[in-house]
A = this chain, B = another copy of it.
Amino acid sequence: MTQAQSPIRVALLGAGTVGAAVARQLYARGPLLASRVGAPLELSGIAVRDLSRPRDLPGVPEALLTDRPEDLIDGADVVVELMGGIEPAHGLLTRALEGGAQVVTANKQLIAQRGAELEALAAERRVGLDYEAAVAAAVPVVRVVRESLAGDDITWIAGILNGSTNFILDMVARQGMSFEDAKDRAGELGFLEADPTEDLEGIDAAAKIVILARAAWGVPVRMEDVQREGISQLTDHHFDTARGTGQVIKLVATAWRSGTPESPKVEVAVRPVSLAGDDPLALTREGGNTIVIETASAGALRFAGAGAGGEPTASAVLGDVVAAARRVVAGRS
């Protein structure tokens, strides 16, 4: 760090809740991030679909907004994708990786459905593809399974990975609200999308456990492999029965290894489970996420925190951006 480093150019695709939070923090934490990376981070542009829409981006120059993502990507060291959806995100990230950029994304459906292909391309081009924010926001489980536990043999993963359904189930369990009232309340508070199918049917949780399973065991796992059951078929009768025995119903995503460590077979499931009241997963409150990872050597490790929200998700994205930028600096020498 004895000579001044030229800036790392960071291109942002998407300026929704998470994108806006990432852009704001890139400015607000500029000196801090520069000291951690060893070079300044320069936001080279923000690609949006509709340039005329008003944005909540205090401190971010309006001239950075563009509706031409390809131009941004071609000049970037690090491409950060926060648009969501499969296309055009998939095409744009393929272009970024082929051009030799480091890629960071929070796009869980993209990584669940096309992650294996994108990871193979990243490996071929010797660049990083990081997606910590795609699972449990800032709860750092992706890095943990890919790096911290890379010397261990992970045997199973169980998690509460969808904050919306946990909020509903927690209101029923702890406040005695009826299931229907709890769903209405979650909708009013913005915990459910206008179309809540992805949450209630376990599709969101399924994408996240598919991502974790592939990251943990390095084998192909597809959305269709998930034995999936949501919470929409539950009734107050189920909740009364659980309560009567001191249990709590949670929507639990699980992945476990059969076969050998060297030649693993992986099974994945998302379903409502009745848990003992003092189970670490049962203690997950409101919109929180909890993940338990069991390994041959480390035993059971537990992780918990906010599973969604603009700022927590931005924290995970920025952690990946710092890692990507450090790789760019290391590659310059």
Interface residues, chain A, CB within 8 Å of chain B?
Answer: 1, 21, 25, 29, 31-33, 35-36, 123, 126, 132, 137-140, 143-144, 147-153, 218, 261-262, 280, 283, 295-306, 311-312, 314-323, 333
Known: A140-B148, A300-B305. 19 other contacts (CB 8 A): A29-B151, A29-B153, A32-B153, A32-B261, A35-B218, A138-B295, A138-B299, A140-B144, A140-B149, A143-B148, A149-B315, A151-B317, A151-B322, A152-B319, A296-B311, A297-B311, A298-B306, A299-B305, A301-B305
With contact pairs A143-B143, A150-B322 given, residues A138 and B29 touching in the complex (Cβ less than 8 Å): no
Whether the pair A302, B305 counts as a contact (CB closer than 8 A) is: yes
Please give the count of copies of this chain that the complex contains. Answer: 2
Q: Quote the shortest CB–CB distance from A156 to chain B (angstroms).
A: 14
Give A318 to B295 CA distance when docked, in angstroms.
13
Closest to A301 in B: B305
Whether the pair A315, B297 counts as a contact (CB closer than 8 A) is: yes
Whether the pair B305, A150 counts as a contact (CB closer than 8 A) is: no
With contact pairs A32-B262, A318-B151, A318-B152 given, residues A306 and B312 touching in the complex (Cβ less than 8 Å): no
Give A17 to B21 CA distance when docked, in angstroms.
46
Residues of B within 8 A of A152 (CB): 138, 315, 318-319
Whether the pair A151, B315 counts as a contact (CB closer than 8 A) is: yes
Whether the pair A311, B323 counts as a contact (CB closer than 8 A) is: no
Residues of B within 8 A of A151 (CB): 25, 29, 33, 314-315, 317-322
